[in-house]
Amino acid sequence: MVERFVVVPVDTVGMGPREREHPGTTEAHPAPDTGGSVGSGAGTAEEKEPLEDSVFEPQDPEAAVPILQYNREPNKYGDGVPKENSPFINNTEHDKNNSYDGTNMALFEEEMDSHPMVSSLLNKLANYTNLTQGAHEHEEADEEEGSKKKAVKSPQMGTFMGVYLPCLQNILGVILFLRLTWIVGTAGILESLGIVGLCCTCTMLTAISMSAIATNGVVPAGGSYYMISRSLGPEFGGAVGLCFYLGTTFAGAMYILGTIEILLTYIVPQAAIFKAERKEEEVDALFNNMRVYGTCCLILMAIVVFVGVKYVNKLALVFLACVILSILAIYAGVIKSIFEPPDFPVCMLGNRTLQNHGFDKCLKTEVIDNLTVTTKLWSAFCDGPELNATCNEYFANNNLTLVQGIPGLTSGVISENMWSEYGPLGMMVENKKLSSFGGSDPTKDIYLPYIVNDITTFFTLLVGIYFPSVTGIMAGSNRSGDLRDAQKSIPVGTILAIATTSFIYISSVILFGACIEGVLLRDKFGDSVKGNLVIGTLSWPSPWVIVIGSFFSCCGAGLQSLTGAPRLLQAIARDGIVPFLQVFGHGKANGEPTWALLLTAGICEIGILIASLDAVAPILSMFFLMCYLFVNLACAVQTLLRTPNWRPRFKYYHWTLSFLGMSLCLAIMFISSWYYAIVAMVIAGCIYKYIEYRGAEKEWGDGIRGLSLNAARYALIRLEDAPPHTKNWRPQVLVLLNLDSDQGVKHPRLLSLTTQLKAGKGLTIVGNVLQGTYLIKEAEAKKAEQNIKSAMSAERTKGFCHVVVSSNLRDGVSHLIQSAGLGGMKHNTVLMSWPGTWRQASDPLSWKNFIETVRETTAAHQALLVAKNVDSFPTNQDRLGEGTIDVWWVVHDGGLLMLLPFLLRQHKVWRKCKMRIFTVAQMDDNSIQMKKDLQMFLYHLRLDAEVEVVEMHDNDISAFTYEKTLVMEQRSQMLKQMHLSRTEREREIQSITDESRSSIRRKNQGATENSTVSRQSSTAEDNQEDEAQLIHDKNTASHVALNDKAEAGPEQVHMTWTKEKLFSERNRNREPNANVAVRDLFNMKPNQSNVRRMHTAVKLNEVVVNKSQGAHLVLLNMPGPPKNRGGDENYMEFLEVLLEGLNRVLLVRGGGREVITIYS
């Protein structure tokens, strides 16, 4: 549950006379439950230095000393995170206004705002008091009038009153009084001891685990929910907390049903509304009465709880006294039975037990005034009271016998009750020692006044019915705030209470079996002893002691359940981990959980409508067992992880005991009712997943986090740093994102593509680089990380975010590629977007960084995916219709091209797309054989795809290719002018443009060919078709010469710039007539290697556009950058030409290893 610590400041100057006399008096200033703004501390400039906590509540001027109050309401600090995140009680975040005036610690004075003095911390801890959110505070809130406050009393309850008696009251209850004798008679003494031993061992082991958790620091009110949620995390805590809530609520229903059963069966049977005319209608009539009276009782109890919990608390000791007196009456009756057994005869017909309601004498006939007359019993089995009336055959053949129901402790009946007597529904309760003569059909005789089984009995059923009688062990831990020494009292009191109740149960099993006749033990409702409570027949001085005591005990337990369950639900709701429960966190002005009480009453009504105590008991057993299971799990996890904060004062625990307790809980769940166990687990699982997906993020330092960390560490150590086997290879992606000036994600579709490619599997690291130093850019880095995480959440990309601040972008990207990931969990693929602005003067380094990234991924043996026009890629909500994913397999670099379409088609966005594979055949290739081989290869790879072989003939290099190459090289040479300012470069480009226009005018008549340049050329030539014409005309002759001298080698044709030429150009630029250097650009001859590359790009682009222009996605081998860095900008031009006219393109470059295999 969410807690809040409020420091109430004190103005000692404003003390009244009474306060000056008693400066140690402490007064409460409860924080308002419904929230509100946080006030500022009252004070003037003349006052002393401010208090160490600056979170102030509106204060009373008569306040005495500052106290640190504990309040379990949602905190008002806006983050929804409880203040237990702070390692100590105080929150140093609010100490920043403190000044330090000493000289002894001047070395630390600059850190005083975040690191307070130890004396200050100890002062706060000394003033700390942990108030519970129970009835005590609500009672105080009810009684406050105006500014009058009650003084807060320090916790004074010891082990006996604070833990032992509450646990005793919660453990002993309805099952002991109403069902234990029936369980002993049905299961026998030995199996009953097994049931009691199994359940008590389970709760004892759970109590040991609970004691370890409860003594590991301060446990505020909330009991098992608080312990589990803080030990196992909000998901487990919420799931088990709600299960515990449901268990407590159904326990209330069970206690109410027990109350009504005692009332209608043993106290005032004539109050029944529904009466059965025939025996077969008795069960239905009883259930209907239970439903009506149970609902009325529930409404009455809910009103009592709503009006004031203080009345329930004040009556608690009365109810406990009833329980203790009843148990003492049982033991007194057992002792008395040794000397003088009570007289409760049981009438037997043959060996069958009779209901003793409608007759007084266990006789067929009796002599009155020398006349033989029939009895009331005769009329029950015969057609009439006449002696010659037709009677039931079994009644006629067997005699009536009186058996003493309580033969006494020394009677030796214990040997007869040692073994079990299970049977189906309707089986008659028989005494095997008595003789019986066959008669009519027993299936028809069950409607006669015999005692019969009302349910089918078996061992596992009895375990489920009995288990609620050992629950209630959390009562002590729930009161931790009221204890003088909780860390000592909780273990001692709880374990002593369990030991005491275990002794009571075990001794009761033995004593019941030794004192009571077996047929009476199996008589669930005491019909054979005139409707007396069976356990009451044994008690002394009167059966009414047990009846009245058990009645008030069940009433008290029901009220306690209706008091505790709504507060538990309110605590869960106020934690904010289950969004749809938020409304139940509100209540009355004093904090009473009104809405939670209404829901509790509604769920309790469901249990009452079931109407059968035997059917409700296994339901609440499941929920309590789930809770106990996770208490044991929490202790075991914390112990095995050796968490540094795991330092419980209770030392007598061990993880093996916790695991044994957990195993016992699980076993009892399935033993008692496997289908209820599955339902309870499904409910808990659904709540767990709901909290995981929709609940608030909480960091409580829970053990599951530690367990995950340990598991991750173990797996990473086991995971070899070597690359995985080809069969296990999948793209572990490092996504390089670009952010805008506001640290927003530029291309969120890149994350969509990652999600579609990964489908939640494997590793995804989303990286970004900020330029600068970390000390200056820390805030921007955090903002960028937050924005990236938000974008990842929006695009459902599961992975990690890594923002690096580096002095330059190039180094930052290099660091990410080298160091992202951990151990064997490193990325093997880099995904990035195409730098669309690489030609723009505003982004001059983008293409250089891009090419260096390509080189570094190659050097690191990592695959590279480059998405062009990434903003046109589909979102995760899109559903592409019928279409194709085209793979252009030009060179083989590991098979990644084949694998990517298969992975994409696993996602619903691409599911309807078909895969087509194109490969390129040269002149000397057998294209038909290539197609067959490729189809066979795909068959072995288990991939479904259409195959097409495209033939590319060795055409002559066109003039258009020469022109594009020449324009590209001229642009590159212009941009390589060294030490030119921006204005000088613009002047050079303008002079080229002017020269081009004059040349076009001079040579316009001689032009015989016409060609255009690509729109991807530089800005200076981009829209100048006339200039392209000029370049073409001036170099036509050189094109022909190059074709003739193609074999001469590059050294014979001066197509590139040498160092000398560069210096000469630079010197020439400094001459007054700089246009001379510019004119030499038009005399250049294109590099033969560049011409061939451009030819490949143009021809391949034509083929790809022709075949795949309508495809949803085109995957293409990405050629590598040149080894000579001098041609980097030309490489970008080649790629632009290659991809021209295509919409969605994914360039793929393998990592140098096989990623797909034909083997299984």
pLDDT of residue 208: 94
Question: Which residue in the block uniquely carries the two structure tokens 């004498």?
Answer: 361
Take residue 314 and report the two structure tokens written for it: 């004040």
Q: Is the pLDDT of residue 640 over 80?
A: yes
Take residue 72 and report the two structure tokens written for it: 């379990």
8 and 54 in contact (C-beta within 8 Å)? no
797 and 764 in contact (C-beta within 8 Å)? yes
Give the 3-state secondary structure of 1110-1139.
CCCEEEEECCCCCCCHHHHHHHHHHHHHHH
Q: Is the pLDDT of residue 15 over 90?
A: no
pLDDT of residue 1073: 45
Take residue 1027 and report the two structure tokens written for it: 């200039």
Q: Is the dihedral of CA 597, 603, 606, 608 positive or negative?
A: negative
What is the β-pairing status of strands 863-868 and 764-771? unpaired
Query: For 797-815, how does the pLDDT look when each residue is reduced to its tens digit (9 = 90+)?
Result: 889 999 999 998 889 999 9
Q: How confident is the model at residue 999 (pLDDT cuts 50, 70, 90)?
A: low
557 and 262 in contact (C-beta within 8 Å)? no
Q: How confident is the model at residue 1026 (pLDDT cuts 50, 70, 90)?
A: very low
**Per-residue burial over 106-138, b = 16 or more CB atoms within 10 Å of its CB, e = otherwise:** eeeeeebbeebbeebbeebeeebebbbbbbbbb
Beta-bridge mates of residue 919:
889, 949
* Radius of gyration from C-alpha coordinates of the chain: 44
Q: Specify which of 258-262, 929-933, 944-948 reaches the highest per-range mean pLDDT.
A: 258-262
Distance of CA 66 to CAs 52, 59, 137, 1081, Å?
11, 10, 19, 86
Residue 726, classed as helix, strand or coil, is helix
Q: Comparing 142-151, 319-328, 604-613, 1036-1045, which segment has the lowest mean pLDDT?
A: 1036-1045
Take residue 381 and report the two structure tokens written for it: 């089995």
- How many other CB atoms are there within 10 angstroms of residue 698's CB atom? 22
What's the rounded mean pLDDT across residues 351-356? 86
d(CA 300, CA 608): 14
What's the rounded mean pLDDT across residues 1010-1018? 37
Torsion, CA 275, CA 278, CA 280, CA 282, rounded to 10: 20
What's the rounded mean pLDDT across residues 593-610? 92
Q: Specify which of 31-45, 209-223, 605-619, 988-1002 reaches the highest per-range mean pLDDT.
A: 605-619
Q: Which of 1093, 1135, 1091, 1100 is nearest to 962 (CA)?
A: 1091
Residue 270, classed as helix, strand or coil, is helix
d(CA 173, CA 472): 10
This prediction has a pTM of 0.67
What's the rounded mean pLDDT across residues 955-979? 58
pLDDT of residue 1081: 52
- What is the share, in percent, of the chain residues with pLDDT greater than 70? 71
Take residue 955 and report the two structure tokens written for it: 């055409």
Give the 3-state secondary structure of 895-933.
CHHHHHHHHHCCCCCCCCEEEEEEEEECCCCCHHHHHHH
Q: Is the pLDDT of residue 332 over 80?
A: yes
pLDDT of residue 997: 53
- How many other CB atoms are there within 10 angstroms of residue 376's CB atom? 13
What is the β-pairing status of strands 345-349 and 400-404? antiparallel
What's the rounded mean pLDDT across residues 191-213? 93
Of 701 and 242, the structure prediction assigns the larger pLDDT to 242
pLDDT of residue 1021: 37
pLDDT of residue 184: 94
pLDDT of residue 252: 92
Q: Is the pLDDT of residue 36 over 50?
A: no
Distance of CA 681 to CAs 319, 472, 620, 666, 669, Å?
34, 21, 13, 11, 10
Beta-bridge mates of residue 887:
917, 1115
Beta-bridge mates of residue 739:
745
pLDDT of residue 430: 87
Query: For 449-474, how does the pLDDT look when each residue is reduced to its tens digit (9 = 90+)?
Result: 888 888 899 999 999 999 999 998 88
Query: For 888-913, how does the pLDDT look when each residue is reduced to its tens digit (9 = 90+)?
Result: 888 887 788 888 898 898 888 998 89
d(CA 795, CA 983): 44
Of 271 and 1066, the structure prediction assigns the larger pLDDT to 271
pLDDT of residue 293: 93
Residue 795, CA atoms < 13 Å, CB-side half-sphere? 28
pLDDT of residue 1068: 53
DSSP string for 926-953:
-HHHHHHHHHHHHHHTT---EEEEEE--
Cβ burial of 600 (10 Å; 0-12, 13-18, 19+) is: buried
What's the rounded mean pLDDT across residues 937-955? 81
Q: Is the pLDDT of residue 69 over 80?
A: no
Q: Is the pLDDT of residue 32 over 60?
A: no
Which stretch of DSSP H or E encloses residue 207? Answer: helix 180-214
Of 912 and 1157, the structure prediction assigns the larger pLDDT to 912
352 and 397 in contact (C-beta within 8 Å)? no
DSSP string for 450-490:
B-B-SS---HHHHHHHHGGGG--TTHHHHTGGGBSSHHHHH
Question: Which residue in the block uniquely carries the two structure tokens 């970390």?
Answer: 774
pLDDT of residue 991: 63
- Residue 147, amino acid: S
Of 1148 and 1093, the structure prediction assigns the larger pLDDT to 1148
- How many other CB atoms are there within 10 angstroms of residue 562's CB atom? 28
**Per-residue burial over 792-802, b = 16 or more CB atoms within 10 Å of its CB, e = otherwise:** beebebebebb
d(CA 93, CA 114): 7
Q: Is the dihedral of CA 65, 69, 75, 79 positive or negative?
A: positive
Backbone angles phi, psi at 367, to 5 degrees: -100, 120
Q: Which of 228, 275, 224 is nearest to 248 (CA)?
A: 224
Residue 1028, CA atoms < 13 Å, CB-side half-sphere? 24
Q: How confident is the model at residue 768 (pLDDT cuts 50, 70, 90)?
A: very high
Torsion, CA 8, CA 10, CA 14, CA 18, rounded to 10: 90
d(CA 618, CA 620): 6
d(CA 740, CA 760): 27
Take residue 51 and report the two structure tokens written for it: 């208090």
Q: Where are the alpha helices (DSSP H) in 43-105?
A: none
pLDDT of residue 122: 65
pLDDT of residue 708: 77
Query: For 487-499, how does the pLDDT look when each residue is reduced to its tens digit (9 = 90+)?
Result: 888 899 999 999 9
- Computed over every residue of the chain, the mean pLDDT equals 76
What's the rounded mean pLDDT across residues 787-801? 90
pLDDT of residue 713: 81
d(CA 519, CA 430): 6
What's the rounded mean pLDDT across residues 183-205? 94
Of 152 and 420, the structure prediction assigns the larger pLDDT to 420
